[in-house]
Structure 1
């Protein structure tokens, strides 16, 4: 089993384990170098917990990788709420994006969804994503958090990669939710460092309240389970302009043992490699491997 397990995020349905490792490994290696820990790991130490194919339509080979979604395919409830949250976050970090407060953004009409998608397409964060890719990402997050069969299959893929030799788990975006739940489901595991990057784990209503195991409730406050033993160090890194990592500090939910930091990832705020090359990320990984 690998010493380092990487867990990808949403929108990777046309990728695969080896292809993602070929992208993540050089960035991870650069991060270790920035942290002064060059040579602590080799590419052979790294594996990818891949679940993206669970969201790939069977028997369809689409050039752009996503079904031809439109605004009308955004479903009421979870998908519309997540879209509104992304829009609000984009407006708060990008002056070019109109605030949803000044529109009928939350109205239950295809027109309001179209307005949200149009606003996001003009933002720095979503500028390179086609409309149908944004809708596809919404549906992947909803599928994991609301469909138990999909959840168990994705979580199982990650659990299968975590073995007795695994010391570090690095998880991006939706993958941070998958990895968190996988570690919670593996009592006694030997992982020493969980590094979450671009994580939505701080979103109370949409994510936290749906976690498995369910967080403990103390009045209006909630406290998520710790995904390991006393030797586990959890570091969460959030890009200043990362819309998916809407809540930057996870300590109010998961406790003060968790370390939170905000990074400057430029225009590629949510890109996994932008996180991996940072010295703070390299340091967190090195601590788990040392």
Structure 2
């Protein structure tokens, strides 16, 4: 992972006309994917859902329905809006319709889109509902955030993990960059954060002086594009710099995010701030 992602960070800086600020050796990678598999699982993917009918957990089903609603709002020309279900529990037919609708969106192109989405839903559910997995994932990230770390970049669920790690204890980190983040998803993610939001506002991570949030306009994982209203600290110059980017047909792809000049600008700004 390090070789490709570190090079992508450097490419992003070059695309922002900020050559020379970092080398690949300056970039560290935190990996926690192994915590989602039980120790006895010898075969990769043994616990991952293989078809939409395997989504039998209410949280996974509701996440899927919320992503469907986000896709319909972002792309009404491609994705039909879900019918109002009221307070009824999702039916297998409704869940199948949600998957079919998402596979027509720009966020889920390609033959592997369904398996990718199913795996993502399972990981999000496990992280938010299993305390042991949550602790292990956060510890994996926490170990990589050293006294030399100036900027933390979190992508997708990784942005949730990074946010919670930086909220938990003071660090030397001065900047957070979130990419394709689901942090703003109401009820299912935002309201389940640790620490819990107070009066509809999430905690500003300790010690962080700047926070840049970037997402593609068609990214349904980042269904809430503006994190500022949820995390800004009025009167204390703590505001999220929200920015919508265009990742082409790979709207949620980490590599596209990292090589984009907009991400390079956010990294450069954060590094300059950390050096002040």
**Conserved? CA contact 1:248–1:262, under 8 Å:** yes
* Alpha-carbon offset, residue 133 of structure 1: 2.9
Gaps of 5+ in 1: 1-19
- The answer to whether the aligner puts 1:227 opposite 2:210 as a matched pair is no
Distance 1:89 1:23 in 2: 30
Distance 2:116 2:255 in 1: 20
**1:101 alignment partner, SS class:** coil
Distance 2:168 2:174 in 1: 16
Match of 2:91 in 1: 109
Choose from 63, 76, 100 the match for 1:82: 63
**2:196 alignment partner, SS class:** coil
- The answer to whether the aligner puts 1:236 opposite 2:219 as a matched pair is no
**Conserved? CA contact 2:49–2:118, under 8 Å:** no
Cα gap change, 1:263/1:108 in structure 2, threshold over 3 Å: closer, same or farther? same
Number of residue pairs matched?
263
Distance 2:32 2:157 in 1: 11
Match of 2:264 in 1: 282
**Conserved? CA contact 2:48–2:118, under 8 Å:** no
- The answer to whether the aligner puts 1:132 opposite 2:115 as a matched pair is yes
Alignment of 1:160-239 (within 5 A): 160-187=143-170, 189-217=171-199, 222-229=200-207, 232-239=209-216
Match of 2:31 in 1: 50
* Alpha-carbon offset, residue 156 of structure 1: 0.4
- The answer to whether the aligner puts 1:263 opposite 2:245 as a matched pair is yes
* Alpha-carbon offset, residue 123 of structure 1: 2.3
Match of 1:38 in 2: 19
The Cα RMSD (Å) is 2.1
**Conserved? CA contact 1:172–1:198, under 8 Å:** yes
Cα gap change, 1:192/1:41 in structure 2, threshold over 3 Å: closer, same or farther? same
Runs of 4+ residues deviating >6 angstroms: none
What TM-score do the two structures reach when normalised by structure 1?
Answer: 0.84
